[in-house]
Chains A and B, each alone.
Chain A
Amino acid sequence: GEQVEQRPPHLSVREGDSAVIICTYTDPNSYYFFWYKQEPGAGLQLLMKVFSSTEINEGQGFTVLLNKKDKQLSLNLTAAHPGDSAVYFCAVNPYQGGRALIFGTGTTVSVSP
């Protein structure tokens, strides 16, 4: 079945710098991908839903890239600010094997002033 690896586990950046998180999945047929943000003590907040048909997706303060050839999904926090400090998770809806998302292991991002 589908497997998802996420790296790095921890990321420390200065305010204004960029931060990149990469997820690698295994099933080339997977079509729907998601990024979530989790602030301390809170549940997961949906950042973006990505469909396999679109390679570049822009949100507020971040860009998501989908590289189908390498089976990689990346989240690029552009000009990070302290409010971006959180744990970020990628998730893949598997093509086969059920209807629940498979999550990466998470990346803890710390943005210092």
Chain B
Amino acid sequence: GGIITQTPKFLIGQEGQKLTLKCQQNFNHDTMYWYRQDSGKGLRLIYYSITENDLQKGDLSEGYDASREKKSSFSLTVTSAQKNEMAVFLCASSLQGNNQAPLFGEGTRLSVL
């Protein structure tokens, strides 16, 4: 079986800092996603990528950059961390096709001091 690995699991940053989150999958999936999870707001899409070097913006892309360096990895950068920000960032991957269910990693928990 495959796995989606997100690093780090916990990230504490300072206001204004640039922070990078990493995601690796060994399912050989084509599409990868970054979602942000806030309490009471469900999951909101930040970026997704349908193949290596492809990037598609989601509704929440402002304040973030992403990079799909190779098929198995997708990284997300918070360009300037906001004071008191707390959220969970979830990475997912799937095969192409509307009927394919994304599989999720365990998340990176971000706190900004």
* A residues adjacent to B (C-beta < 8 A): 6, 9, 31-32, 34, 36, 41-46, 49, 51, 89, 93, 98-106
- Residue in A9, A51, A99, A100 whose beta carbon sits within 8 Å of that of B40 in the complex: A9
Interface residue tally on B, bucketed by range: 20 to 34
Query: Are A89 and B43 also in contact (CB < 8 A) when A99-B98, A100-B48 are?
Result: yes
Which residues in B have their C-beta under 8 angstroms from that of A106? 40, 42
Q: Decide if B58 is an interface residue (CB 8 Å cutoff).
A: yes
* B residues adjacent to A (C-beta < 8 A): 4, 31, 33, 35, 40-45, 48, 50, 56, 58, 90, 92, 96, 98-99, 101-107
C-alpha gap A29/B106 in the complex (Å): 32
Query: Are A105 and B41 also in contact (CB < 8 A) when A99-B98, A100-B48 are?
Result: yes
Q: A43-B4, A43-B107, A100-B58 are in contact. List 16 more A-B contacts (CB 8 A).
A: A6-B42, A9-B40, A32-B98, A32-B99, A34-B101, A42-B107, A43-B90, A43-B106, A44-B43, A44-B90, A44-B92, A93-B99, A98-B48, A100-B45, A101-B102, A103-B42
